[in-house]
Amino acid sequence: MRGKIALVTGAAGGIGAAVVRALGSRGVTVAALDRDDGGLRETAAELSAEGAAVTPFTVDVGRSDAVDETVAAVEERLGPIAYLVNTAGVLRLGEAAGYSDEDWRATFAVNTDGVFHVSRAVTGRMLPRRAGAVVTVASNAAMTPRAGMAAYAASKAAAEMFTKSLGLEVARHGIRCNVVAPGSTDTPMLRSMWRGPADRTGTVEGRPDAFRVGIPLGRVAAPEAVADAVVFLLSDAAQNVTLHTLTVDGGASLGA
Ligand code: NAD
């Protein structure tokens, strides 16, 4: 993977930063995208100090014009993008019966539209080069219903199927598209769901009142565990893998 160029969205977040670090440590040059300008600059500075080649680009993936401009700027400054990782995501909890239009649209704007905007812009450039690999970080919530997460789950299911359908279209051009479906992973997004230690325990041990079975491996994932799965799917070790979902949830969705 050494010397290749990767574009990673959501790079200031828990999983995104772990992906940037994992790629950087393998000699990949990374364009790190996020809409959180301060967080992004902090993450890029930290990873650059560790020796990774990371360039920050501040952009809202929900805006297709801005995404097109940023992808063009990445190729101009760094070179041809070989790897794309769609990690940017938002979680707005709420039961469907009372869910607001604003929360629904904001969820889809990032989790679904964002994946479409960035994947379209990047694969459009990969096609004539006849090479590239895409990984979308979706969620095990795309295949296992979770109370209070209907919009999130629907947005992730859409992003997952978009990624696989895109993968079908570009397969004959030598481009692979896969999905990583994390379960509970220790990041700011997961912690935002916890109001105290009981919630953390409930995540691992299960909550019958919420129809959650818990995590068979008995632990919340470290962001690095998700990043390892992303790196595998991008790498030549997965050269014959496409249209696949790799679930990294400690068994929480019981292999569904
Ligand atoms: P996080 O909140 O730490 O990181 C998400 C990042 O996305 C943030 O840096 C945020 O600024 C960025 N982002 C949000 N909207 C954006 C936009 N419009 N444009 C550009 N950047 C934007 O969350 P995380 O846990 O690291 O999540 C990473 C991905 O993994 C998300 O897609 C999330 O849905 C998915 N996921 C997380 C978990 C978990 O338990 N943490 C489980 C399953 C799936």
What are the structural domains of the chain?
A: 5-183+226-245 (3.40.50.720), 188-220 (no CATH)
pLDDT at residue 197 above 90? no
SS3 category, 119: helix
Whether pTM exceeds 0.95: yes
Per-residue model confidence as pLDDT tens digits over 137-167: 999 999 999 999 999 999 999 999 999 999 9
Pocket mutation for ligand 1, best pick of 21, 58, 63, 189 (most atoms within 8 Å of C-beta): 189
Q: At what angle do helices 115-126 and 64-77 cross, to 10 degrees?
A: 40
Q: 30 C-alpha vs ligand 1 centroid, how far in Å? A: 18
Q: Quick one: which atom of ligand 1 is closest to the CA of 182?
A: 43
pLDDT band for position 186 (cuts 50, 70, 90): very high
Q: Quick one: which atom of ligand 1 is closest to the CA of 12?
A: 9
Min mean pLDDT across 184-188, 189-193, 213-217, 220-224 is at 189-193
**Pairing assessment for the beta strands 83-86 and 5-9 based on DSSP bridges:** parallel
Number of H helices and E strands in the chain, helices first, is 9, 7
Query: What is the C-alpha to C-alpha distance for residues 204 and 201, in angstroms, rounded to an integer?
Result: 5
What tokens does 205 get? 């041990």
pLDDT at residue 116 above 90? yes
83 is annotated as an active-site residue? no
More confident residue, 188 or 243: 243
Nearest 5°: CA angle at 153, between 150 and 179? Answer: 175
- How big is the chain by its Cα radius of gyration, in Å? 17
